[in-house]
Amino acid sequence: MDELRAVFASNLIRLRSAAGWTQAELGERLHYSDKSVSKWERAEAIPDALVLKTMGELFSVTVDELLRSHDEWKPKADQRSDLRYNPMFIILCALVGLFTLCLLSFIILWLLDDVEWLLLYAAVPADLIVLLVFNTIWYRGRHNLYIIMALVLSLILLAFFLFGRWQLILLLLPLELLVYLAFKIRKTRDKT
């Protein structure tokens, strides 16, 4: 009988705590005093069947679940739900994979005597776009300003290498300033 009281007390404490109720609040719902609830939780007594039935309805459990060891009726956690993936390694795998794909394309063209150095240069903005997407998803865009500024720089350099015009470098400063200022725009509340 002592074991049954201890099991019930443990279940009652856990269910009451999960519901966010004090002993007095539970007692009020059951039309008992907080002293009675305290006695049940100290495993000094077990309420009668009618009170157990009312408790089961309050906590949405059966009377059997109130009296059974909580280890048996505790929901079994999905073993795979504990697994978490580290977003940083996923991002790194995507970036290295994309760069490897560009490098492989470059090597194949090189073997065919059609060297395209721009494939290697193009890997940088492509990687930055992938990084921007993942950073927005997993890190809520915390460092997007720096990623976009690096993307602008890499695109200007790619255009420079593609067209061979140094004048394109002149666009770098105003575009970087534009990106910086765009990130500083904030909505403000009207205080009137």
pLDDT by residue, tens only, the chain of 192 residues: 778 888 888 889 998 988 888 999 888 889 898 899 999 989 888 899 898 999 988 888 888 888 888 654 444 455 455 557 788 888 899 999 999 998 898 888 888 887 778 878 888 999 999 999 998 888 888 889 999 999 999 999 989 988 888 898 999 999 999 999 988 887 666 665
User: What is the DSSP-derived secondary structure letter of residue 78?
Assistant: P
Computed over its alpha carbons, how large is the radius of gyration of the chain?
32
* Structural domains in the chain, sorted by start: 2-79 (1.10.260.40), 86-184 (no CATH)
CB 55 within 8 A of CB 21: no
Q: How far apart are CA 22 and CA 141, in angstroms?
A: 42
Q: Using N-to-C axis directions, what is the helix angle for 144-163 and 118-138, rounded to 10°? A: 160
Please report the pLDDT score of residue 138 as a whole number: 84
Using DSSP, state whether 21 is helix, strand or coil.
coil
> Using CA atoms, how far apart are residues 116 and 104, in angstroms rounded to an integer?
12
> pTM of the entire structure?
0.52
Dihedral, CA of residue 170, residue 173, residue 176 and residue 179, to nearest 10: -90
User: Tokens in use for 31?
Assistant: 């039309």
